Amino acid sequence: MAGESDEEAFEEVDPTGRFGRYAAVLGHGSVKKVYRGFDQEEGIEVAWNRVRVRALADRDPSMVDRLHAEVRLLRSLHHDHIIGFHKVWLDRENGVLNFITEVCNSGSLRDYRDRHKHVSVKALKKWARQILEGLEHLHTHDPCIIHRDLNCSNVFINGNTGQVKIGDLGLAAIVDKTHVAHTIWARRSSWRRSCTRRPTRSRWTSTRTGCACWSW
């Protein structure tokens, strides 16, 4: 009986009843908050992402449908070194876009390095190789996807295996056949002025990869 009373309750569940959200927050940004979640069907922990789109929709009503469609595109990305999407749905009543992603048990690479100071060059090379493999998948995807905010806070690691995954694609851009970048869903004025609707290739993300490696 004591075990039942100590069981952590879900704050909410998705429309299918498969995924549950706990109150614990894994991370947050200006428009997004990430909660600890659970996949009841597979019996695994997940990340439950909530994006507040109502304010964005007030400024641009078409933004909601665009967000939903383009996050679905991200859901089509399947690679060992990119955080996987499981499900996405729009809560129109509360103005929230919800999506479920896989979760890495050791958090971001930045936090992991703060906890573990003594890492060999061999291990750093393994991490860098995995990041580059993930980037190659993004850049060769049709359409091409550029991360644009790659750093150690947006790369996640499973510490028990050493596997790293690229995540947080909120500032990513889809590049059309004219090599013009279109921001996926997050808006940030400085990025919008410098990157959105500008002819571009993958060199920017490659430069950020070098900066991330240098910060190690």
Give catalytic residue positions: 168
Return d(Cα 70, Cα 146) in angstroms, integer: 14
The amino acid sitting at 105 is: N
Task: Indicate the DSSP class of residue 7.
Answer: S
Residue 188 zone, left/alpha/beta (φ > 0; ψ -120 to 50; rest): beta
Return d(Cα 64, Cα 97) in angstroms, integer: 8
Q: Which residues pair with 37 in a beta bridge?
A: 21, 46
